[in-house]
Structure 1
């Protein structure tokens, strides 16, 4: 069951300037190896221009966008792609870790974005995504 982030107040005082910051979103560009994507970055922002303050899971949209760019440009699967593949193969995280010989907690770490899979693990994921029937041979 997913944990819910507590409700954040609508305003807060900037620890640097003392100005009132209001909760909202602003466009932010995430760039990686010559490609970029714009995301709506939540945070506390001053009226008009100025730097925002990001708390809790605010930066997770930037992390996700960066992982998606890495997947597109380098073939490193994003956590959501790894979760999708594991579900497609009908494996628990522990079963996937045992099948891929990467440790029983590896898929939990991959799917939370804490660790990226190694090159050989990525290659095996790619093969099994294209040919899911091969999972029975690996068992």
Structure 2
């Protein structure tokens, strides 16, 4: 039993915490990560105190790294499809001359506007004429 089991809920104050497990979805850059967490959860509001699990934390971080790598690979694919150099792609997105190189190596994460712009250009490559 945890130290929280049987205590009053610190969130709503109306319920009691009980040890248990709960399914949880977390989102990172539009991708869903599902896991099961353990802790003490309120029988009234459902909120509670989550136990820290180092192994689960590493799984979450690995998921985030995988999403980042997929996003970087997708930017490379789209940039090449559009026949743009990294410098031209960076200018198109409004970034510095080395921005795309850093995105593609995973050293920087592009803002959502850059990712969205290139996803749109992937589906409608003819629009690049409007931006150059």
TM-score for the superposition, normalised by structure 1: 0.48
Q: Which has the higher contact order (CA 8 A, sep 6+)?
A: 2
Taking structure 2 as the reference length, what is the TM-score of the superposition? 0.50
Which of the pair is proportionally richer in helix? 2
